[in-house]
A = this chain, B = another copy of it.
Amino acid sequence: MSVVTIKDVAARAGVSPKTVSRVINGEAHVRPELRDLVQKVVAELDYRPNAFARSLSSSRSYLLGLFIDDPVSGYAADVQHGALMGCRARSYHLVVEPVDLTAPDWAGEVRASIAALRLDGAVVAPPICDDAALMAIFAEAGLPTVLVAPSIAPPTSGTVRMDDRRAAQEMTDYLIALGHRRIGFVQGPLSHSASARREEGFRAAMAAAGLAVDESCVMRGDFTSRSGMELGEHLLALPERPTAAFAANDDMALGVLITAMKLGIAVPEQLSVCGFDDAPSSRAAWPQLTTVRQPKAEMAMAAVDILVDPEFRRKAGGEGSQLMLPHEMVVRGSTGPA
């Protein structure tokens, strides 16, 4: 028997296992001297409660699931990182479950995970947090769920988001303040509703400044840098070339940047470019991209808090907590005066 059990601790401290359990879980009603004694013995023996036994008897698993579409994307990595930090801070563990909505039996696999692991909660990342069928599975299983940056907010789940609209508005205000009047906008795919909100913000800022949006300067991409490059070619070939381009995500902004470079258009002297997300690639480019930092890790961490910490949840607004986290403009080299 190499592992230390609660009985060992109890025996050595001269108390019952139950008392040790009380100390471990920070329950009330233990005399301070006993508490200290037990804690000392726990430290001495380097005792670690067996999570399985604990889960079995308490029907809490101390496990959260992170449900994610494409665990390879940089976005997912940030979300996961935040969730991990949140779990660690609260002695929970994180089980990552990839969900491929195009796989034949994805629903069965999700159900299997939930049932086998008795998860205490689920953090769901975009874009699958917008899938109704998936949400139905969680609801049916009675699994507390928090969505990260969803486009819609089902009443059964908590959500943690940022204000895409306002962020885009701020970015546009910034471009206008730099003296730009003719600003191109590269939209994201229709399926991605946050990108629609970014466009709203752009248009709102333009309107507020009394500037007309030239619709020939607004084009739809698909979030890839390739689409940014192609649209950039159109944009920069326009008879009246815009002096700034705002893309709904960083990859597309990068595409525009590359095209500008190929065409010999100096950034930011002749063209300002900005993106959205603060993806890692926005820093690898030259000049580095001005963008909006999306608090991905922070959102995931808050999601964990909502799931795990009743008090936090109460503060955040009860069961269907709707939390909005602040974003941040990141001004780097790709934008300058008109």
| Interface presence of A16 (CB below 8 A) | no
A94 to B52, CA, bound (A): 15
Residues of B within 8 A of A274 (CB): none
Task: Confirm or deny: A81 has a beta carbon within 8 angstroms of a beta carbon on chain B.
Answer: yes
Cα(A212)–Cα(B88), bound, Å: 53
Check: A251 CB closer than 8 A to any chain B CB. Answer: yes
Asked if A98 meets B116 with Cβ closer than 8 Å, knowing A74-B74, A258-B285, the reply is: no
B-chain residues with CB within 8 Å of residue A76 when the two chains form the complex: 77
**CB < 8 Å: which of B80, B116, B280 contacts A71?**
B80
Number of residues of chain A lying within 8 A (CB) of chain B: 52
A154 within 8 A of B: no
Q: Mark A237-258, 1 if CB is under 8 A from B, else 0.
A: 0000000000000010010001
A73 with B77, Cβ < 8 A, contacts A52-B61, A55-B52 known:
yes
Question: Would you call A317 an interface residue if the criterion is a C-beta within 8 Å of the partner chain's C-beta atoms?
Answer: no
- Tell me, yes or no, whether A332 is within 8 Å of chain B by CB: no
The closest CB in chain B to the CB of A63 belongs to: B95
Known: A48-B115, A72-B77, A94-B96. 5 other contacts (CB 8 A): A71-B84, A72-B78, A81-B98, A88-B109, A280-B281
State the 3 A-B residue pairs at the shortest beta-carbon distance, nearest first: A48-B115, A52-B55, A51-B116
